[in-house]
Amino acid sequence: MIRESNEERGQRSMHLLRIFRNHKSEVFRPDGGMVVVGCSEEGDIVVEEAGIPEIALQLEFCDGCCRAVAKYPGVRLNGGKLKSQRLKLGDRIEIGGTAIIVDTEPDTRLSFDVSADNFINTFGRFAAAVGKERDLRSLLRKAISILFEVIGGTDAFIFTLDENRRPRVFVSSASGPAEERFSDTVVQNVLHKGEGICIPNALSDPQLAGSQSIVDLRLSSVLCCPLQVAGKMNGIIYLGSRKATHSFSPRDLDGLSVYASVVAMLINHVEYISQQHASIRRLARSGRHEGIIGESKVMKDLLASVDSLAASDISVLLEGETGVGKDLFAQLIHRKSSRSGREFVVINCSSLQGQLMESELFGHRRGSFTGAVRDHAGLFRAAHGGTLFLDEIGEMDAGLQAKLLRTLETGMVRAVGATDEQSVDVRIICATNRDLSEMVERGEFRRDLYYRINQYCLRLPPLSRREDDCLLLAYFFLEKYKSMYPHKEIVDFHPDALEAIAVHDWPGNVRELAATVHKGVLASQGPLVTVDLGGLDKSLLTYDAAMRAFQQKLLWRAIHACGGSRDRAAQRLGLSRSTFFRYLAASGGTNRQL
| DSSP-based helix, strand, coil % in the chain, nearest 5 | 40, 20, 40
% of the chain residues with pLDDT over 70:
79
| Phi/psi of residue 197, nearest 5 degrees | -130, 135
- Render pLDDT for 500-551 as a digit per residue (tens, 0 to 9): 888 888 888 999 999 999 999 998 888 889 998 764 444 444 445 555 666 7
What integer pLDDT is reported at residue 261 of this predicted model?
A: 85
Q: What is the mean pLDDT of residues 402-429?
A: 92
> Does the pLDDT value for residue 4 go beyond 50?
no
* Residues sharing a CB contact under 8 Å with residue 239, sequence separation 6 or more, in sequence order: 147, 151, 153, 155, 156, 222, 223, 224, 248, 256
Domain 7-104's class?
Answer: mainly beta
User: Which DSSP helix (H) or strand (E) runs through 102?
Assistant: strand 98-104
Instruction: Give 338's DSSP letter.
Output: T
The pTM of the full predicted model, rounded to 2 decimals, is 0.51
Q: Picking from 131-145, 242-256, 303-317, which range would have the lowest pLDDT averaged per residue?
A: 131-145
Task: Tell me the per-residue pLDDT of 565-580, one tens digit each, with 9 for 90 and over.
Answer: 888 888 877 788 877 8
Give the sign of the dihedral formed by CA 441, CA 445, CA 450, CA 454: negative
> What ranges do the domains of the chain cover?
7-104, 116-276, 292-459, 469-586
pLDDT tens digit string along 195-220? 999 888 877 777 665 666 666 777 78
Integer Cα distance of 217 and 215 in angstroms: 6
CATH class of 116-276: alpha beta
Res 145: pLDDT: 81
Q: Which CATH architecture has domain 292-459?
A: 3-Layer(aba) Sandwich (3.40)
What pLDDT is recorded for position 120? 55
**CATH fold of 469-586:** Helicase, Ruva Protein; domain 3 (1.10.8)
Report pLDDT digits (tens) over 278-318.
666 666 555 455 568 877 888 889 989 998 888 899 999 99
**How far apart (Å, rounded) are the C-alpha atoms in residues 242 and 79?**
18
